[in-house]
Amino acid sequence: MSARGGLPWVLLAAVVIVAIAWAAWPDDARVSVAARAHDLAAELRCPDCEALSVAESSTPTARAIRRDLKRRIAAGQSDAQIRQAYVDAYDETILLEPEGSGLGVLVWGLPVVVLVLGAGGLAFALRRWKREPRLHATDADEQLVAKTREVDER
């Protein structure tokens, strides 16, 4: 790719990277109590409904938990402590995301492993195809071509 041909692409890449960096820069205002409470609430399952998170549900228990989360954050408890307190009172099903330890490794790790294997397989296959020569004609192919030629010549 000549330098001149590549220039528009390099420019484009630069613009895109700057835009992403600008947008993705962590915003300090977001680490407020309310934001932390909301993030935690999104990770907890609402105990008296099916599969909704505490952040989404409007049942009395969910609202009580949201208030409780704010209280706990204000009291200085860490996210891990709060999660553990809820697991102690309810059970592990109160967490919507499996923990990363023990069996949890499977559910987080397997997809990554599968994707890496898939991408690796693809790269490997592409490289092998590039290196291997193109088709060899088999005897059956030669016969077919000969037969077709006969028909043409007739």
Partner 1 sequence: MKAELGRFALIVGMVGSGAGVLCLATGLRRHDDRLLRLGRRYVFTVLIAAVLAVLAMEWALLSHDFSIRYVAENNARSTPTLFTITGLWSALEGSILLWLLVLGGYLAFAAHKFRSRANDPLVAWALLVGLCVALFFFLLTLLPANPFETLAVTPADGRGPNALLQNHPLMAFHPPMLYLGYVGFTIPFSFAVAALITGRFGEGWLADTRRATLIAWGFLSVGIILGAWWSYEVLGWGGYWAWDPVENASLLPWLTGTAFIHSVIVQERRGMLRVWNLSLVIATFCLTILGTFLTRSGVLNSVHSFTESPIGPWLLVFLALTAATGIGLIAWRGDRLRAPGRIDSPVSRESAFLGNNLLFAGLAFVVLLGTVYPLLAEALQDRRLSVGEPYFDRMATPLGVALLFLMSLAPALPWRATTSAVLRDRLLIPAWCGALGMIVAIALGAHGFTDVVVFGLAAFALAGIARQFALGTRAHHASSGAAWPRALGMTVRSNPRLYGGLVVHVGVVLIAVALAASSGYATRREVRLARGESATVAGYRVTYLGATTSRTGQNTRVSARVRIERGDHVLGVYAPAIKSFPGASGGIGTPSVRTGLLRDVYLTLISSPNERGRVTIGVAINPMILWLWVGGLTIGLGTLVALAPSARRLRRGRPVPTGQPGPSPEQPRALEKVHA
Partner 2 sequence: MRHPTRWIALGIAVVVLLFGIVLATRVGDDPQAEASKSQLLDDPVPEFSVRTSDGTALSSADLHGRVVIVNFWNSWCLPCRDELPALKVFFDRHADDPEFLMLGIVRDDTVKAARAFVRERGIDWTIGFDQESVAALAFGTRGQPETFAVTADGVIVGYQYGPSTVADLERLFARARQGSA
Q: Residues 90, 96, 98, 104: which binds partner 2 (CB under 8 A)?
A: 90
Q: Residues 10, 35, 125, 145: which binds partner 1 (CB under 8 A)?
A: 125
Q: How many Å is the Cα radius of gyration of the chain? A: 30
H-helix segments, the chain: 3-24, 33-43, 60-74, 79-89, 104-131, 139-153
Tokens encoding 105: 């490794």
Collapse the DSSP code of 138 into the 3-class scheme (helix H, G, I; strand E, B; otherwise coil) and give the result. Answer: coil
Tokens encoding 103: 């069996």
**67 touching partner 1, by CB under 8 A:** no
| Residues near partner 1 (CB under 8 A) | 1, 5-6, 8-9, 12, 15-16, 19-20, 22-24, 27, 42-43, 45, 49-53, 56-59, 63, 91-98, 102-103, 106-107, 110-111, 114-115, 118-119, 122, 125-126, 129, 132, 134-135, 140, 144
